[in-house]
Copies of this chain bind each other. A is one copy, B any other.
Amino acid sequence: MPYFRVAEAARLLGVSDDTVRRWVEQGHLAAEVDGAGRKVVDGAVLAAFARAQATEVPDPTGVGRSARNRFVGLVTEVKADAVMAQVELQCGPHRVVSLMSTEAVRELELVPGSLAVALVKATQVIVETPDRVVQSTRHPAAG
């Protein structure tokens, strides 16, 4: 049963701790009080809140809004080798690096500044705590 303190929740939501505190005061976000009188937010509540307030980057074509495993962003860097190329995208606050053939880069006309979409085909989920790092066995992501 994961709980987060105000400062942790603030960083996860991308705002300051004061803002989280105000949201709790105004009833927008449910919080509880631990034994020491400090505000704590239930992980599930925080997750639901984050999902509700998430404003995904609208798809340029208008289709596939809020699609999962779909990252719309701008190409920030293209390193092209003879056969393979490494393309880096800035998708909101996240950076995605994709390896593809140089031929594909040329076909897609990928240059810094291009609007592109990164489709995540496979992921590996790990859980990090201050103590230990647990990771799952590798599996393909849901498509």
Measuring CB to CB, which residues of chain A are less than 8 angstroms from any residue of chain B? 1-2, 4, 8, 11-12, 14, 42-48, 50-51, 54-63, 65-69, 71-76, 86-101, 104-105, 107-130, 133-142
Which of B62, B113, B137 meets A100, CB within 8 Å? B137
Alpha-carbon distance between A14 and B58 when the two chains are bound, in angstroms: 8
Bound-state CA distance A73–B69 (Å) is: 13
Asked if B95 contacts A92 (CB within 8 A), the reply is no
CA of A117 to CA of B136, assembled, Å: 11
| Given known A-B contacts A90-B50, A92-B94, A100-B137, A127 and B113 have beta carbons under 8 A apart | no
State how many angstroms separate the Cβ of A138 from the closest Cβ of chain B: 7
Query: Given that A11-B58, A54-B92 are contacting pairs, would A47 and B118 also be in contact in the complex, using a CB cutoff of 8 Å?
Result: no
Question: Assuming the A-B contacts A98-B141, A115-B43, A116-B125, are A130 and B14 also in contact, with contact meaning beta carbons closer than 8 angstroms in the complex?
Answer: no
